[in-house]
């Protein structure tokens, strides 16, 4: 179905599928007298929770994204993310704020299989993009969020030889910042640093973690658990989460940084974890999704790690790495799974 927010009459819309009905329920909730909307967090870094967000702040967030991307009234957007989470809700709010024509597609790992026309804007997870490479030329502005974009996926995107008018960005944000507050361009230029939106201030706390002050979307200074390298007052590079840091033999290891190196060599999902070890404290283990393969092991052996202790002490292959409902790797569940099976 398609919703034209430039000429919206909810009573004339037919919400048929379960997902379309969820979109309809959100539109009804938005048009109610209440000032807040309930949003569910993904649970990828902790226990899932539900909290209320002011509608006016969601509109402020939508304005920042629409302005950054230059979206205009009448442009076409595609919704293919669950509306239970902030990512899907904000796609609807952006469409409302900028009076876009919103195509509603069932969230799946192949969200654009039936897309035959050019659209101006879409948001996807990395897994969705992985399965949509042959249709990326139809999307003028694509933002990728929900999880880090792997080096393997970046290379696949570059090999598509897209036109320079096709822009692709990786996002940085969380539920508390009402989706993203910064973007990093992957196409046509490949950037190393995220650039924060206008009216967003960034700094480091005493742990070396990012703090965010975005008064248009959150009146509080938000302390994250994300270790970053700050280039200037608007740009930063993500290094990893402080709660994922592995302490092995007294050395602090950032798993996300090592995963980037590994994923340059293999196409598989690969996650580093630290399992309890009597002598090291934590033993560095690499979990690889897929069937055990001598070829994959050989490619991992060719990775140029900066330190010798960055090389995994053990490689474990599993059929499927656990993920949250919106596609993020669940490190908590993965750790439990591996630790309990040893």
The confidence score (pLDDT) of residue 239 equals 87
The confidence score (pLDDT) of residue 89 equals 95
- Domain spans in the chain, listed from the N-terminal domain onward: 2-241, 245-340
Distance CA 261, CA 184 (A): 19
Instruction: Tell me which residue of 204, 3, 234, 202 sits closest to 98, measured CA to CA.
Output: 3
The confidence score (pLDDT) of residue 326 equals 61
CB 72 within 8 A of CB 205: no
The confidence score (pLDDT) of residue 163 equals 87
SS3 content of the chain, % helix, strand, coil (to 5): 30, 30, 40
Evaluate whether 2-241 and 245-340 have a shared fold.
no
How does pLDDT run along the chain (342 residues), one tens digit per residue?
Answer: 999 999 887 777 888 899 999 999 999 999 998 899 888 766 555 556 777 889 999 999 999 999 999 999 999 999 999 998 889 999 999 999 999 999 999 999 999 999 999 999 999 999 899 999 999 999 999 999 988 887 778 889 998 888 888 999 999 998 778 889 999 999 999 999 999 999 999 999 999 999 999 999 988 899 999 999 999 999 999 988 898 999 998 888 999 999 989 988 998 999 999 998 888 999 999 999 999 999 999 999 999 999 999 999 999 999 999 987 766 788 889 989 998 877
The confidence score (pLDDT) of residue 48 equals 62
Locate 186 and state its tokens.
């992957």
Q: What is the CATH number of domain 245-340?
A: 3.30.300.30
Distance CA 236, CA 101 (A): 33
Name the pTM for this structure: 0.79
Three-state secondary structure call for residue 341: coil
* 3.40.50.12780, 1.10.4160.10, 3.40.50.720, 3.40.50.20: CATH of 2-241: 3.40.50.12780
Distance CA 130, CA 158 (A): 12
Chain length of the chain: 342
């Amino acid at each position: 179905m398609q919703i034209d927010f430039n000429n919206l009459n909810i009573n004339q819309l037919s919400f048929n599928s379960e997902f379309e009905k969820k979109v309809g329920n959100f539109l009804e909730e938005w048009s109610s007298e209440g000032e807040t909307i309930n949003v569910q967090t993904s649970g990828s870094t902790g226990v899932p929770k539900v909290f209320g967000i002011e509608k006016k702040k969601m509109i402020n967030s939508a304005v920042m994204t629409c302005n950054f991307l230059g979206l205009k009234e009448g442009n076409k957007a595609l919704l293919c993310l669950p509306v239970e989470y902030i990512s899907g809700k904000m796609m609807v709010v952006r469409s409302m704020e900028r009076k876009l024509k919103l195509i509603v597609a069932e969230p799946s790992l192949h969200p654009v299989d039936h897309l035959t026309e050019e659209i101006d804007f879409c948001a996807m997870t990395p897994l969705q993009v992985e399965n949509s490479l042959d249709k990326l030329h139809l999307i003028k502005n694509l933002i990728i969020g929900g999880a880090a974009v792997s080096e393997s996926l970046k290379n696949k995107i570059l090999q598509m030889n897209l036109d320079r008018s096709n822009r692709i960005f990786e996002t940085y944000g969380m539920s508390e910042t009402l989706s993203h507050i910064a973007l990093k361009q992957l196409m046509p230029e490949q950037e190393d640093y995220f650039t924060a939106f206008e009216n967003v201030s960034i700094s480091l706390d005493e742990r070396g973690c990012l703090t965010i002050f975005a008064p248009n979307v959150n009146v509080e200074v938000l302390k994250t658990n994300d270790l970053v390298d700050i280039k200037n007052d608007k740009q930063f590079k993500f290094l990893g989460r402080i709660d994922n840091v592995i302490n092995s033999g007294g050395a602090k290891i950032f798993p996300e940084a090592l995963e980037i190196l590994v994923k340059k060599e293999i196409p598989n999902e690969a996650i580093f974890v630290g399992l309890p070890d009597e002598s090291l404290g934590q033993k560095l283990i690499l979990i690889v999704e897929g069937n055990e393969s001598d070829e994959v092991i050989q490619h991992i052996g060719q990775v140029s790690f900066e330190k010798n202790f960055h090389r995994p002490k053990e490689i474990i292959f599993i059929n499927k790495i656990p993920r949250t409902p919106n596609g993020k790797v669940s490190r908590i569940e993965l750790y439990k799974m591996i630790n309990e099976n040893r």
